[in-house]
A and B are shown apart, each in its own frame.
Chain A
Amino acid sequence: MDDASMKLKQKQPRRYVVSRKLDAFFFDVYAFGQFIARFFRNLFLPPYEFKEVVHQCYMVGVKSLPLITLTGFITGIVFTKQSRPSLSEFGATSWLPSLVAIAIIRALAPLVTGLITAGKVGSNIGAELGSMKVTEQIDAMEVSATNPFKFLVVTRVIATTCMVPLLMLYMALVALLGAFVNVHANEQTSFILFIENGFQSINFLDLFSSVLKSVVFGFTIGIVSCYQGYTTTQGTQGVGRAANTSVVLAMFLIFIEEIIIVQVVNWFRIT
């Protein structure tokens, strides 16, 4: 098989440098690095699978809309409801739209969208590619003169990288709508006034950092789940493990990336 990452994953060290588990971990990290490098090599080489990219964008984006809508709306309502008592103590309920807008756009929308997409799309990709791997469908694609890496991996990673930011913006809007519903029920504020108040505290850096985070989260979800699925071994048990690991690892990395990006953006904000 020309799949270098697959070989590396299977290759077990005979003599352990540190310990069996630690050596295997570093082999896995190295194989994952090779997989990412292979993605970027294939990304710029023709043929370009535009049709499949559009199909995957539909699967990742449009199919996630109901879940994103529901979670976004609930997030908006709950966050506003929880924040109200604290602000009431200081007689600052008029700051509620600003507080909610900052929280949603800076933190909640990217993080919640990332986690929801990791759960829904990540597990889907991990299981689908894993199943294709163990039932030889990937080999079948290869022998029918189609580059399976390009067709299956590159298209899905592009789709998640492009669609997660769009889903994040959509979720932010829905969450703000949810917040407005709560504010309107208590203060009879108009939607225009709510949005005006809310966006007074939002600047370009807030929006840019959220989009940047979402792009990174989308890429992470795509590449992690494709790697787990594409390198699945050990039959149906392996498929379950691939789906599970895709979600857990993607979520873990999303939190790490969130911390790093927030630190960098805050540094820019101060300077």
Chain B
Amino acid sequence: MAKSNTHIIDRTKRVISIRGLHKSFGTNHVLRGIDLDIFQGENVVVLGRSGTGKSVLIKIIAGLLKPDSGSVNVLGNDVERISYRELEKLRLRIGFSFQSSALYDSMTVRENLEFPLLRNSKHLSTQQVRQAVEKALDAVGLSQTINQWPGELSGGQRKRIGIARTLIMQPAIMLYDEPTAGLDPITSMEINDLINEVQERFNTSSIIITHDLTCAKSTGDRVAVLLDGRFVKQGSFEEVFTSGDERIKSFYDYNFIT
């Protein structure tokens, strides 16, 4: 199902701007000169095979990895040049949904959601924290899991709670790392709908890392295909997959045949 465009993308306002990004791990040159702009309110899907550096890209944006060269500007901050304190402040405006959900095993769902709030919004009363947690859980449709442990949740529920935990800080940017990996088609569709809902309700800009073309088609305003450490094609889903590039075509054929 293709994405319905009911939200507004402000093409005059760049929230993420990446230029000439390079990153290597030992002799493995993963990113080889990445240029990318993300605009206000835009969902950009980064497509590519496993091991092409998709996750590395968003980890660099969140300041979890340092690039070898190039610049990464997020919400007007040069991630490489700002201090650790400034980076912490910036991270409050970035929501990161991990591939493994990364819920804290030693905490209940409530405590998982409270954690970023209690540490970063100390002015909030207990009542306000409780309300924020309930609101975030309601946004992902999992209010009933509030007192459960992460180990008691299904894969799809864990993904949703992971997204709720990022939404609680009301981020301007969402970074989704393989949001539908390991999920059945129905749950994947629910996650795709949730990504679109988050974009519309909270007016976020997002980067969605995936190799799931259904996810790419239903969530992306723009698709960027990453091959051999470079973006080989950017545009709408239809533009990208009707381009005639054999490498992209084979990716499409393989994804839909399997």
Contact = CB atoms under 8 A, between A and B. Distances in A.
A125 B165 CA distance: 25
B100 A135 contact: yes
Interface in B82-140: 84, 88-89, 91-92, 94, 96, 98-100, 102-106, 115-116, 119-120
Contacts of B59: 1, 139
Contacts of B64: 1, 139, 142-143
A131 B66 CA distance: 23
B62 interface: yes
B27 to A, nearest CB: 8
A137 B96 CA distance: 12
Contacts of B105: 131-132, 135, 137
Contacts of A196: none
Q: Is the interface of B mostly helix, strand, loop or mixed?
A: loop
Interface string A140-169: 111111110000000000000000000000
Interface residues of B, number: 29
Contacts of B166: 144
A2 interface: yes
B102 A145 contact: no
Contacts of B106: 128
A144 B104 contact: no
B236 to A, nearest CB: 29
Contact of A143 (B62, B66, B103, B104): B62
Given A136-B98, A139-B98, A140-B96, A146 B116 contact: yes
Interface string A4-27: 000000001000000000000000
Contacts of B65: 1
Contacts of A145: 88-89, 91-92, 116, 119-120
B134 to A, nearest CB: 19
Given A145-B88, A145-B119, A140 B66 contact: no
Contact of A146 (B26, B84, B119, B165): B119
Contacts, number: 63
B2 to A, nearest CB: 31
Interface in B170-214: none
Contacts of B72: none
A71 B122 CA distance: 44
Contacts of B103: 137, 140
B62 A144 contact: no
B45 to A, nearest CB: 20
A163 B84 CA distance: 32
B223 interface: no
Interface string B26-67: 100000000000000000000000000000000100111110
Contacts of A147: 88
A146 B66 CA distance: 18
Contacts of B66: 1-2
B203 to A, nearest CB: 20
Contacts of A144: 91-92, 115-116, 119-120, 165-166, 169
**Which of A136, A139, A147 is the most central at the interface, judged by chain B CB atoms within 10 Å of its CB?**
A136
Interface in A102-138: 128, 131-132, 135-137
24 contacts: A1-B59, A1-B64, A12-B26, A131-B105, A135-B105, A136-B100, A137-B103, A137-B104, A139-B64, A140-B96, A140-B98, A140-B104, A141-B104, A142-B91, A143-B94, A144-B91, A144-B115, A144-B116, A144-B119, A144-B165, A144-B166, A145-B91, A146-B119, A146-B120
Given A1-B64, A136-B98, A140-B96, 18 more contacts: A2-B63, A12-B26, A132-B104, A136-B99, A136-B100, A137-B104, A139-B64, A140-B98, A140-B102, A140-B104, A141-B104, A143-B91, A143-B94, A144-B91, A144-B92, A144-B119, A144-B169, A146-B116
